[in-house]
């Protein structure tokens, strides 16, 4: 697979992930129970569609599973204990940690264009969520920071397995996240048939399928690209909510979203432009 196709898969991942907001609103249930049931359905989907999964219990595989479970669980806790804007912004600090840790763990150098893209993305997110960010909910903010750290390690562990079986980490991580949510199931109200439809869509379309695409794409992109390109997810999330629920984004959100999308497009197209420039230089 070419690098450009891998970038396209990451964009598709962001589109599928962005459906989470509208689908979660669809399901009338406890948030942590939704997260756990979504992960269980996602694990069943992966097992049914891609078995036998190559589970070798290697440190990167187990590390990826723990990081995945921590990411999805901490994000739900952050969303519950602080604002949704805080939770998303703090989770997408993950590229900062990858920029710091990637050279040590993966021997992948963070280039100047990565730092510029990261600065533009974070600035765009602040604009995007302007007015919704808050210092209230310290425990929620800490959970959000934790989800950013675990998201970074998830990408590092998956990238480390690029020649092995990163999808097995996602499968094991989904099982672990489902187990963590058991207390939430026990105290949750019964689920309606309408909500079950939403849960199945969450598990298969919003979680299972995009992570399949992600584990394919991460073999051909750097860890920084694997985090920066999907940052269009929080931009697309309120688009679906606006279309299906009617919540209208602010003018600052539209400007911030445009900044993020422009930065991601510029970063994603940079390798292609460099290759064309190099061919032109050689031809001349």
Per-residue pLDDT tens digits for 49-70: 888 888 989 999 999 999 999 9
User: Span 85-104, mean pLDDT?
Assistant: 84
Closest CA to 169 of 254, 50, 25, 12: 50
- 227 contact partners, CB below 8 Å, separation of at least 6: 92, 94, 95, 98, 151, 152, 155
Confidence class for position 124, pLDDT limits 50, 70, 90: confident
Compute the distance between CA of residue 225 and CA of residue 207 in angstroms, rounded to an integer: 20
Token pair 């600052």 is at which residue?
252
In this prediction, residue 117 carries a pLDDT of 86
**Cis peptide bond prior to 52, omega within 30° of 0:** yes
Lowest mean pLDDT segment, chosen from 16-25, 40-49, 273-282: 273-282
pLDDT for residue 278 is more than 60: no
Task: Determine what percent of the chain is predicted with pLDDT higher than 70.
Answer: 90
User: Span 262-271, mean pLDDT?
Assistant: 74
| Radius of gyration over every alpha carbon of the chain, rounded to an integer in angstroms | 19
In this prediction, residue 246 carries a pLDDT of 64
- 261: number of Cβ within 10 Å: 16
Q: Which residue has the higher pLDDT, 266 or 284?
A: 266
Task: Determine what percent of the chain is predicted with pLDDT higher than 90.
Answer: 32
Lowest mean pLDDT segment, chosen from 116-120, 136-140, 180-184, 208-212: 136-140
pLDDT for residue 153 is more than 60: yes
Q: Which residue has the higher pLDDT, 122 or 280?
A: 122
Compute the distance between CA of residue 262 and CA of residue 173 in angstroms, rounded to an integer: 32
pLDDT for residue 270 is more than 70: no
pTM, full prediction = 0.84
Closest CA to 26 of 38, 11, 13, 43: 38
In this prediction, residue 279 carries a pLDDT of 56
User: Span 185-195, mean pLDDT?
Assistant: 86
In this prediction, residue 175 carries a pLDDT of 96
C-alpha 153: how far from chain center: 12
In this prediction, residue 114 carries a pLDDT of 84
In this prediction, residue 274 carries a pLDDT of 60
- Measured between alpha carbons, how far is residue 158 from residues 65, 68, 195, 222 in Å? 9, 10, 32, 11
Lowest mean pLDDT segment, chosen from 4-13, 141-150, 197-206, 262-271: 262-271
> What does the pLDDT look like over 200-252, one tens digit per residue?
999 999 999 999 999 999 988 888 888 888 888 877 877 776 777 666 667 77
Confidence class for position 89, pLDDT limits 50, 70, 90: confident
Confidence class for position 259, pLDDT limits 50, 70, 90: confident
């Amino acid at each position: 697979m070419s690098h450009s196709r891998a970038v396209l898969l990451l964009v598709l991942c962001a589109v599928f992930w962005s459906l989470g907001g509208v689908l979660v609103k669809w399901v009338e249930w406890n948030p942590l129970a939704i997260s756990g049931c979504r992960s269980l359905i996602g694990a069943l989907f992966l097992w049914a569609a891609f078995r036998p999964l190559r589970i070798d219990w290697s440190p990167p595989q187990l590390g990826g599973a723990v990081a995945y479970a921590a990411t999805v669980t901490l994000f739900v806790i952050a969303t519950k204990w602080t604002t949704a804007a805080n939770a998303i912004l703090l989770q997408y600090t993950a590229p900062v940690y990858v920029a710091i840790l990637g050279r040590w763990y993966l021997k992948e150098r963070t280039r100047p264009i990565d730092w510029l893209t990261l600065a533009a993305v974070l600035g765009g997110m602040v604009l995007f969520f302007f007015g919704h960010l808050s210092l209230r909910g310290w425990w929620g903010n800490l959970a959000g920071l934790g989800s950013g750290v675990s998201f970074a390690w998830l990408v590092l562990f998956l990238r480390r397995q690029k020649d092995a079986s990163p999808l097995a980490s996602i499968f094991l991580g989904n099982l672990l996240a489902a187990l963590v949510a058991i207390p939430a199931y026990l105290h949750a109200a019964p689920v309606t048939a309408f909500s079950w439809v939403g849960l199945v869509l969450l598990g298969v379309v919003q979680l299972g399928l995009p992570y399949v695409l992600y584990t394919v794409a991460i073999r051909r992109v750097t860890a920084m690209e694997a985090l920066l390109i999907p940052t269009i997810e929080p931009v697309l999330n309120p688009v679906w909510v606006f279309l299906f629920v009617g919540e209208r984004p602010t003018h600052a959100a539209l400007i911030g979203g445009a900044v993020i999308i422009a930065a991601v497009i510029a970063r994603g197209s940079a390798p292609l432009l460099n290759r064309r420039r190099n061919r032109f230089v050689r031809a001349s």
